[in-house]
Structure formats: structure tokens, C-alpha cells
């Protein structure tokens, strides 16, 4: 079995914010594969389990706040016998332009509190991650304020495409060699998308 973890903050207040793009992708991936989320009996998380392209998969959305994500992930991965090399973390990144994806097999947390929590709790930086570009703050805007804002009207036009592309990347991660997935999805943002 493999584990895909979408990071975000629980509650309606955060539902459509940039910081919750990981949740949007996890929900869409579950919907596309007719999987339903249920509360976990192991941790503060909701989990959708099933088959995606022939691969047994659990999709997890922690229901802790972002900086405690690891506490929700570890009990599930341990209970299901999922090693760190079978986990993919999906999260927002304001260092990338809106719509750009970067999938990597490991590395530092890059200053992202949710990923930091997962790395700390699972005790390894060798955890695959899909960074989802949400664009960067403008005119000296505080980073924390920026990620907790909702996508604006212009960004929402791109959001469906971005979420679909990220779902395709997650599915490819389940079924293909990692180098192939990186080659396919770690491309510069396509021209014509602003």
C-alpha cells in the first residue's frame, strides 16, 4: 500500500485558502477514483482507502493544524505498514509560480511547517513530496497572511487545471518510476497561463 497525504488546515475558515491546496488535491484525487473519506480511528485525520490504477492507496487529510501534520500521519503509516519510501506529501509552495509543480524524492522542509512536522515525526528527510506552486506574496505582504488568503478570481480560473495536473502527478507517482514522473511533471509553467 502507498500513502498520499494532502496538507492543509481543518475547518471551513481555511477551506479555499492557498495553504489548503493539498486538501483540494487529496479530495479531487479521491473523487476521481470514487473513494470516500472516513475519520481515522488511529489519529486526527480522515482517510480514503482503495485502488488507484491497480495500486492499493490510502489518501490522508490530517485534521490537526498544519504545524502538527506529522502527528496525524505517523500512526496511520505505522498501522498500515507503510515505509517512508511509500509516502507522498502534497502541499502548497509560494516559492513556485501558480500552477507549477515540483516532485522530489526527498530534501529539506524548505520552511514549510506542515512538511517540517512530517519530517520531524517520521524522522527522515527521505520522503517524497509534491510542491504545488501558489504564487508569491506581492509588495512586501506577510507570507503567513498570503497563504491564509483565499485564491483570488484570476487564480481560481487556473485552480481547476492545477488540481487536475497535481492529481495526474500523484497517479503517475503510484504507477511509474520516480525519474519518469519528475521528467514529466517538473517542467516550467506552460506559456499562456498567467
Residues identified as active-site: 19
124: nearest Cα among 87, 173, 93: 87
What letters, b where the CB count within 10 A reaches 16 and e where it falls short, cover 1-33?
ebbbbbbbbbeeebeebbbbbbbbbbbbbbeeb
| Cα distance from N-terminal residue to C-terminal residue, the chain | 38
Cell numbers 517538473 label which residue? 186
Cell numbers placing 66: 498544519
Interatomic CA distance for residues 22 and 60, integer angstroms: 10
Amino acid at each position: 500500500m502507498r500513502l498520499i497525504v494532502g496538507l492543509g488546515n481543518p475547518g471551513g475558515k481555511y477551506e479555499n485558502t492557498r495553504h489548503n491546496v493539498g486538501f483540494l488535491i487529496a479530495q479531487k484525487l479521491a473523487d476521481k477514483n470514487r473513494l470516500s473519506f472516513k475519520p481515522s480511528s488511529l489519529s486526527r485525520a480522515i482517510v480514503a482507502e482503495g485502488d488507484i490504477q491497480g495500486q492499493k492507496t490510502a489518501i490522508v487529510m490530517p485534521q490537526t493544524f498544519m504545524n502538527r501534520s506529522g502527528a496525524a500521519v505517523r500512526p496511520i503509516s505505522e498501522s498500515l505498514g507503510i515505509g517512508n519510501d511509500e509516502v507522498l506529501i502534497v502541499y502548497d509552495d509560494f516559492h513556485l509560480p501558480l500552477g507549477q509543480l515540483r516532485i522530489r524524492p526527498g530534501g529539506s522542509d524548505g520552511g514549510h511547517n506542515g512538511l517540517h512536522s512530517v519530517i520531524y515525526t517520521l524522522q527522515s528527510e527521505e520522503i517524497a513530496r509534491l510542491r504545488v506552486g501558489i504564487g508569491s506574496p506581492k509588495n512586501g505582504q506577510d507570507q503567513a497572511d498570503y497563504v491564509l488568503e483565499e485564491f483570488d478570481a484570476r487564480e481560481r480560473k487556473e485552480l481547476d487545471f492545477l488540481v487536475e495536473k497535481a492529481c495526474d502527478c500523484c497517479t503517475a507517482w503510484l504507477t511509474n518510476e520516480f525519474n519518469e514522473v519528475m521528467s514529466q511533471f517538473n517542467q516550467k509553467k506552460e506559456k499562456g497561463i498567467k
